[in-house]
Structure 1
Amino acid sequence: MFPNQWKKSINRYYREEQVVKAKKQRQKPNDYSEEEAQQVIDALSQETRKWRLLILGSMIGGFRRGELIGLEWHNVKFDEEKGLEVENNIPLTKDGKAIEKGPKTISSYRFADMPEWYMEELALYKKEWEQERKDLGSKWEGMDREFVFHNGLGKSYYYQHPSKWWKRFCKMHNIRYITFHGLRHSMGTLLIEDDDPNVDSLLKAIQERLGHSRKSTTEDIYVHITKKVKKRTDWQV
């Protein structure tokens, strides 16, 4: 048995180690710079259309993982609006069955317009999706559900599957790994290149796109972006 003072010393050591690890983790940016985002996009060109669209849906649309795997074709607008509507969320799977919930908050119910090129590729993917369903015939397990990014048999993906795929993808293409959730935060980095240099209007646009209920949440995440905008604005004055 360890003397009590040894136990206290060991416990204190492990607590300090956890604090150091947590600080190091916070120091690592959980989003991509413009250059890193371009590296991801280049690597995605080598993947299937399904995975390319799913990953870019997070990077460009700011959608959460559960929002993407819960997306159905009736949520996709190909008309004048051209974008994706969020009204479903699959945050976990229990006993092999998807647990469906509404979006995280009231403000998470939203519509996000998407680039024309993205919607054109999504239309091509829809044709592939329809052919796949037809070829499966009685093997189709999706019933009357039409999940855009299904598991190959029509059912929604296991909730952690996109994250596991993403981790393998980063390793394969030698891309700095960030969490799947961090992908949607990279959207702000991409928006900043074309958007209004006014910090408040930019944060408002990001807040609405991400579905944050409080502006303070967006501000806390995008401190680095506000600094970048301010630097660019100061330089232009």
Structure 2
Amino acid sequence: MFLNQVKTPVKNAKYAHSIQYYVLFTLIAITGLRIGEALALTWDDINLKNGELTVDKTLVYPLNTQPYISTPKTQSSYRTIKLDDHTVTLLKKHRVNRNEVVLMYTNYVQPDDNTIFFQHEDKWLKTNVVREYFKEVCKRANLPVLSPHALRHSHAVHLLEAGVNIKYVSERLGHSSIKTTADTYLHVTKKIEDQAMEMYLRYVK
């Protein structure tokens, strides 16, 4: 519901032709990227042919200070994430769309550094702007007002509930250890353990 709401054009929106937010939020929902990791991405970080995304930096945007690119949160945050075909296709559309947007709106400036997500003034997309937009979409969709981190959280929950190995989930999220993943998603792992025990008992009876 949330992503469908993002995809739906808003009447009289300033940059209605842009699909940037839809692509950004879809990417986070499908990969579990942290918001800073997503905003720091350049096209050099994505191999559309192989369907892979490399995380080796993050965008830091301190309050009332200039943003800057920094190293990832932890050593384990350096990682390569597999992308599905739909997301690869969407990224290809976004690459075309952003060129169209630059031509369509006179105040939109193409960034020099090949950044994937950017503001119209040729700057990184601000994390606080993204969060505010996320809240607006939540309100339009009559959903609880959350932050973009909810998409990362949902991605992890869906993987675990689908029966994906917790070690894989931990590595995909860039957690420092499996324990971090297990502690964070204790409610999910407990549910999986209960289901596994039920399956085992049915098997041995």
TM-score range, shorter chain: 0.7 to 0.9
1:45·1:52 contact (CA, 8 Å) conserved in 2? yes
In the other structure, the counterpart of 2:90 is 121
Correspondence list, 1:108-187, <5 A: 108-133=77-102, 140=109, 142=111, 144-187=112-155
Residue 36 of structure 2 is aligned to residue 73 of structure 1 = no
User: Which of 160, 165, 168 lines up with 1:205 in the alignment?
Assistant: 168
**1:176-201 deviations in Å (ceiling 9; x for gaps):** 223322321111122135444xxxxx
5+ residue gaps in structure 2?
Answer: 10-17, 201-205
Correspondence list, 1:14-33, <5 A: none
1:147·1:156 contact (CA, 8 Å) conserved in 2? yes
In the other structure, the counterpart of 2:33 is 63
Residue type at the aligned position of 1:83? E
Q: Would you identify which runs of 4 or more consecutive aligned residues in structure 1 move more than 6 Å?
A: 136-139
Residue type at the aligned position of 2:180? T
Quick one: distance in 1 between partners of 2:48 and 2:61? 29
In the other structure, the counterpart of 1:234 is 197
2:39·2:59 contact (CA, 8 Å) conserved in 1? yes
SS at match of 1:192: helix
**1:102-126 deviations in Å (ceiling 9; x for gaps):** 1111111111112111110110111
SS at match of 2:143: coil
Quick one: distance in 2 between partners of 1:42 and 1:136? 25
1:98·1:159 contact (CA, 8 Å) conserved in 2? no
In the other structure, the counterpart of 1:97 is 66
SS at match of 2:80: strand
Flag the structure with larger Rg: 1
Cα root mean square deviation, aligned? 2.3
Q: What is the identity percentage for the equivalent residue pairs of Structure 1 and Structure 2?
A: 24
More off after superposition, 205-214 vs 184-193: 184-193
Q: Determine which structure has the larger helix proportion and give its number.
A: 1
5+ residue gaps in structure 1?
Answer: 1-38, 197-201
1:188·1:225 contact (CA, 8 Å) conserved in 2? no
SS at match of 2:118: coil
| Count of residue pairs the alignment pairs up | 192
* CA distance 1:204–1:172, shift in 2 (3 Å): same
Please report the TM-score for the alignment, with normalisation by the length of structure 2: 0.82
